[in-house]
Structure 1
Amino acid sequence: MSGSTENEELPATQTGHKGVIHDWRRFKLESEDHDSIPPNKRELLRQMSNPKSRNEDKQEKVNRKMSMQEYEMIQEEDENCLRNYRKQCMQEMHERLSFGPTFDTVFELESGEAFLEVIEKEHCLTLVVVHIYDDGIKGCDALNNCLTCLAAEYPSVKFCRIRASATGAGERFSDDVLPTLLVYKAGELLGNFMCVTKHMNEEFFATDVENFLNEYGLLPEKEFAACPDEVENADVE
């Protein structure tokens, strides 16, 4: 059959990368006159003869790289939000389930009734440390100062103090047994230390009182009680 080159059907082409290159070369050799090339071949030849410039490819890679950077930034922000959320959940869990209420000061008990109430009605998970003291007794002021420091480091422990004369049982707490430390939990007496300063050096500090109580296992782990920043980096599965 006769007919113009324009009406000829496009020969079957090879597939794949090498096939496209072979077709392009064949189109170029077959057609010396650009106008005689069929439109479909002409378009293919144009596309194959004018690939993207290196600058365009480079710009495309930059754009792709920027997109990846943006994705990584978003991912990092999500991880920070998740970490903060986990920290908040950990703190709430410790407060509500593990350690009950939290405190940050030493409470002054004004009467024997207040003394009994803090022992019997405090949260069952709360450790209560009561310092029975009196004015002018050696070691009492120093111990009060030490408990003030420990109250800040152990917020899950309720530190209290009461004058011996205010307990309603002053005869039991004479000067020779002061200062006295009593430790309770859920209404149960865990520790009864009379003249506690005898177990320490003449000059003692909060760490000495802390070590003394820890010898009897009467203080919680400081890292949980104080809720340190290490919790932020902890992995929660």
Structure 2
Amino acid sequence: MATLEDKILGEKLHNYCSSSEDEGDSDYEDSRSGDEEGNAPKPEGSSADPPPVNSWNGTASNTGPKGVLEDWRRFQEMERAARREKEIESWELAKKLTLATRTAAEEEQAKEVEALEEEWKELLDEEYLMKYQQQRKQELMEKLQKLKKFGKVLTLNSKEEFLDAIDQEDPTVTVVVHIYNHSEEACQTMDGCLKILSQEHPAVKFCRIQADKTGLSRQFKVDGVPALLAYKGGDIIGNFVGLGKTLGEDFFATDVEGYLVSYGILPEKY
């Protein structure tokens, strides 16, 4: 018995006849007998020209070996085209899924960004800013209350007290020492100015000591006073000698304050 493979390969088999050849012989006989009988008219429904040999509309018009091979070849092409189209659709779908899907790390990062955005919106909230300002103001007030306050001018009676007033003080405290000669009018004016400034700047430690008790030279006692020496953390940060000549014979607390502010000894008022 002939198999499908035998038909596809076109081998000659016993008892196998091409239907196209049979149909051709029959047509030839019919045509010949028709001519002999004088029946020239063609059967109804037949066309004037025969159909093209290579035209194929999805069904086999030729059932011979060549027709079967042509049908098989076209079937395989259609299968390959269908597979390619399916692969393209699958690839496009995979790309869309890849773009739409985020990894766990990306999800976590996105959540962090959203949290920061929410926090930033909260910071921009006017009510929150008012609360923050009040809280910050309260913190500063508490900090100022914890600072040491003096509010007066301390009199030092010896070189030892002079050194202790500087070295044993908190390193964050500014110490201003007035070296004076009680016989100089400018020194008396400076004493009055420092009393006012000690109350306006209570966190600053104002002191006074006679030039005689410091062991300074006689020349300094005459020409160097009134002198202001500023210390912080045990280090000298300002050394102002002969201020009677610098500020003039008649000066006020505001003049001394402005002078010390300009050198960064006293904090500027706002």
User: Which TM-score tier does this pair reach, normalised by the shorter chain?
Assistant: 0.5 to 0.7
Q: Which residue of 2 aligns with 1:217?
A: 264
Q: Which residue of 2 aligns with 1:173?
A: 220
Q: Identity over aligned residues, as a percent? A: 45
Q: Which residue of 1 aligns with 2:141?
A: 91
* 3-state SS of 1:91 partner: helix
Q: Return the offset for 1:89.
A: 4.6
Larger radius of gyration: 2
Query: Which residue, out of 205, 215, 225, partners 1:158?
Result: 205
TM score, norm. by length of structure 2: 0.47
Q: Which residue of 1 aligns with 2:231?
A: 184
Segments of 5+ residues of structure 1 without an aligned counterpart are 1-82, 224-237
Paired amino acid for 1:94: L
Q: Which residue of 2 aligns with 1:122?
A: 169
Q: Return the offset for 1:220.
A: 1.7
Greater relative contact order: 1 or 2 (C-alpha under 8 angstroms, separation 6 or more)? 1
Alpha-carbon separation, structure 1, partners of 2:169 and 2:235:
11
Alpha-carbon separation, structure 1, partners of 2:236 and 2:180:
18
Alpha-carbon separation, structure 2, partners of 1:114 and 1:88:
37
**Aligned partners of 1:153 and 1:222 also within 8 Å:** no
Paired amino acid for 1:185: K
Q: Return the offset for 1:101.
A: 1.0
**How many positions carry a matched residue from both structures?**
140
**Aligned partners of 1:180 and 1:193 also within 8 Å:** yes
The Cα offsets for residues 48-87 of structure 1, whole Å up to 9 and x where unpaired, read as xxxxxxxxxxxxxxxxxxxxxxxxxxxxxxxxxxx7x986
Q: Which residue of 2 aligns with 1:79?
A: none
TM score, norm. by length of structure 1: 0.54
Alpha-carbon separation, structure 2, partners of 1:183 and 1:172:
21
Segments of 5+ residues of structure 2 without an aligned counterpart are 1-133
Q: Which residue of 1 aligns with 2:195?
A: 148
Alpha-carbon separation, structure 2, partners of 1:200 and 1:221:
19
Alpha-carbon separation, structure 2, partners of 1:111 and 1:170:
16
Alpha-carbon separation, structure 2, partners of 1:123 and 1:140:
28
The Cα offsets for residues 186-215 of structure 1, whole Å up to 9 and x where unpaired, read as 011011111112111321100000011111
The Cα offsets for residues 158-201 of structure 1, whole Å up to 9 and x where unpaired, read as 00000011123355732111111100000110111111121113
**Aligned partners of 1:154 and 1:222 also within 8 Å:** no
Q: Return the offset for 1:137.
A: 1.2
Alpha-carbon separation, structure 2, partners of 1:105 and 1:193:
21
